């Protein structure tokens, strides 16, 4: 049996990336690993001189991908065949209500920047790229939470969460586009 047939984390990672709507490159950037490493983790092997070598990974890599994509760390570690620390907290989004999650997000965001508006309010001012990147994990977790809440039978709560996620994601895309224009030596028009 090929090594990739025994590698259960790869298909799981590919599904999480597909669900996130992000490219492998963007996931790699958010996780702080190379795009090639993401491909190896999906495929279950790396190649050296035409020989497939079964992929190995670390707790830190799975944790970085968990943060970038919002999947449960415990599940990622298990699928990657890594030991699960006894001290690992329950990271199930379903363990909390929509209101608890949104309240906690608001509390944490206020700690980062007191000028950030409450989660229930629409975004009234563009956020800096640094603020938006800090929220990329939250966007991914919000998407996962919206799916879980919808599956649990609360479509209204799922719609509120999805709307918040979409709003934050739009702001991130606008800031990323402005950064790309700036890195090419072009100035973004005022008001963007």
Give the per-residue pLDDT at 51.
93
> Where is pLDDT greater, at 11 or 130?
11
8 A C-beta contact, residue 149 and residue 98: yes
pLDDT at 38 over 50: yes
* Topology of domain 3-79, CATH: 434 Repressor (Amino-terminal Domain) (1.10.260)
Between 126-135, 160-169, 172-181, the lowest mean confidence (pLDDT) is in: 126-135
Q: Judging by DSSP bridges, how do beta strands 45-48 and 51-54 pair with one another? A: antiparallel
Q: What is the mean pLDDT of the chain?
A: 74
pLDDT confidence band for 12 (50 / 70 / 90): very high
What integer is the mean pLDDT of 26-47? 93
Q: Which of 50-59, 104-113, 136-145, 162-171 has the highest mean pLDDT?
A: 50-59
Largest distance between two CA atoms of the chain = 58
Residues in the chain: 192
Residue 45, beta-bridge partner list: 54
Tokens 């990336």 belong to residue:
17
Specify the long-range contacts of residues 158-165, CB closer than 8 Å, at least 24 apart: 160/98, 160/102, 161/98, 161/101, 161/102, 164/102, 164/119, 165/139
What are the tens digits of pLDDT across the range 69-118? Answer: 888 888 999 999 999 888 776 554 444 555 556 666 666 666 555 554 54
| Residues of each domain in the chain carrying CATH 1.10.260.40 | 3-79
């Amino acid at each position: 049996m090929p090594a990739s047939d025994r590698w259960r984390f790869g298909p799981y990672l590919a599904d999480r990336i597909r669900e996130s709507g992000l490219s492998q490159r963007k996931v790699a950037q958010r996780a702080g690993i190379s795009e090639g490493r993401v491909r190896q983790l999906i495929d279950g092997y790396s190649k050296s001189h035409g020989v497939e070598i079964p992929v190995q990974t670390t707790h830190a890599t799975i944790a970085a991908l968990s943060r970038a994509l919002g999947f449960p760390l415990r599940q990622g570690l298990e699928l990657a065949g890594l030991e699960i620390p006894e001290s690992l907290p329950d990271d199930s989004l379903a363990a909390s209500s929509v209101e608890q999650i949104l309240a906690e997000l608001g509390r944490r965001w206020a700690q980062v920047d007191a000028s950030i508006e409450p989660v229930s309010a629409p975004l009234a001012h563009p956020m800096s790229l640094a603020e938006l990147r800090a929220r990329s994990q939250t966007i991914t977790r919000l998407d996962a939470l919206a799916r879980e809440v919808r599956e649990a039978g609360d479509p209204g709560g799922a719609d509120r969460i999805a709307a918040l996620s979409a709003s934050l994601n739009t702001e991130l895309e606008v800031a990323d586009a402005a950064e790309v224009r700036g890195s090419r030596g072009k100035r973004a028009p005022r008001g963007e």
